[in-house]
Amino acid sequence: MGMNALAQHLVAAPSSEDWLDVLADGLSEYGWLSVDARGFLGERLLATLCEEIRDLDRNDELRAARIGRGQDKTRDRSVRRDKIAWLQGETGAQAELCNAFEAIRTGLNQRLFLGLKRFEAHYATYHPGDFYRKHVDSFRGRASRVVSVVLYLNQHWQETDGGVLQVFNRDSDQEICGRVAPELGRMAVFMSEEIPHEVLPANRTRYSVACWFRQDEIPLPLSL
């Protein structure tokens, strides 16, 4: 690459600040958005995360996800069928992704004054036939999960692969207001208490990372 091409590339690269502005604007105006995160995270990190989750899946290191809280946690296959593994920043890629989530946390706090204190994140795998019925990620007034982020890790996702995230209107939850295909580098971002959403059955294994930014300080017991 010659100097000119390099200079152009640097100028054209979207700045993280601009990207964070897009997130904050979408959240404050609509309560949700779908955004291309490839520039923010980098193609190399995305490729490594894809490899990691495939390895975890292949080695059967993900566990059936549960619903509910605390003692009430149950495994209900009629509601959700994904398998998960909590991220603990133990690999280079996980540490890098956690840095990116941290940048989103502070970026949203600066722009929207949400008082996000920390985040929790897990890998998730939906095998063919798996789904997650319509739900919200947090119960109103608990101020626990405030912002949800889902990062998709599937190259060349086709319409026929299913597994679309359906987003519902925050004021009338029968009305679909968005559909997000889980394509590599795409991110869905939404207000955890407000936005009902569902994962339609996948016809092909569907990989993602889900992350929740929280207003409380007590760490979640990582005992799944």
Ligand X SMILES: O=C(O)CCC(=O)C(=O)O
Secondary structure in 3-state letters for the chain: CCHHHHHHHHHHCCCHHHHHHHHHHHHHHHCEEEEECHHHHCHHHHHHHHHHHHHHHHCCCCEECCECCHHHCECCCCCECCEEEECCCCCHHHHHHHHHHHHHHHHHHHHHCCCCCEEEEEEEEECCCCCEEEECCCCCCCCCEEEEEEEECECCCCHHHECCEEEECCCCCCCEEEEECCECCEEEEEECCCCCEEECCECCCEEEEEEEEECCCCCCCCCC
Using the contact rule CB under 5 A, the part of the chain among 34-42, 94-102, 106-114, 130-138 near Fe ion is: 130-138
Residue 137 near Fe ion by CB under 5 A? yes
Task: Rank residues 47 and 67 by Cβ distance to Fe ion and give the closer one.
Answer: 67
Using the contact rule CB under 5 A, the part of the chain among 45-53, 84-92, 137-145, 180-188 near Fe ion is: 137-145
Residue 52 near Fe ion by CB under 5 A? no
Distance in Å, CB of 212 to ligand X, minimum: 8
Task: Rank residues 108 and 210 by Cβ distance to ligand X and give the closer one.
Answer: 210
Task: Rank residues 116 and 210 by Cβ distance to ligand X and give the closer one.
Answer: 210
Q: Which does 161 bind (CB under 5 to 8 A by kind): ligand X, Fe ion, none?
A: none
Binding stretches for ligand X (CB under 6 A): 124, 132, 137, 150, 165, 188, 197, 199, 208, 210
Binding residues for Fe ion, rule CB under 5 A, total 1
Q: Which does 34 bind (CB under 5 to 8 A by kind): ligand X, Fe ion, none?
A: none
Task: Rank residues 24 and 151 by Cβ distance to ligand X and give the closer one.
Answer: 151
Which spans of this chain sit near Fe ion (rule: CB under 5 A)? 137
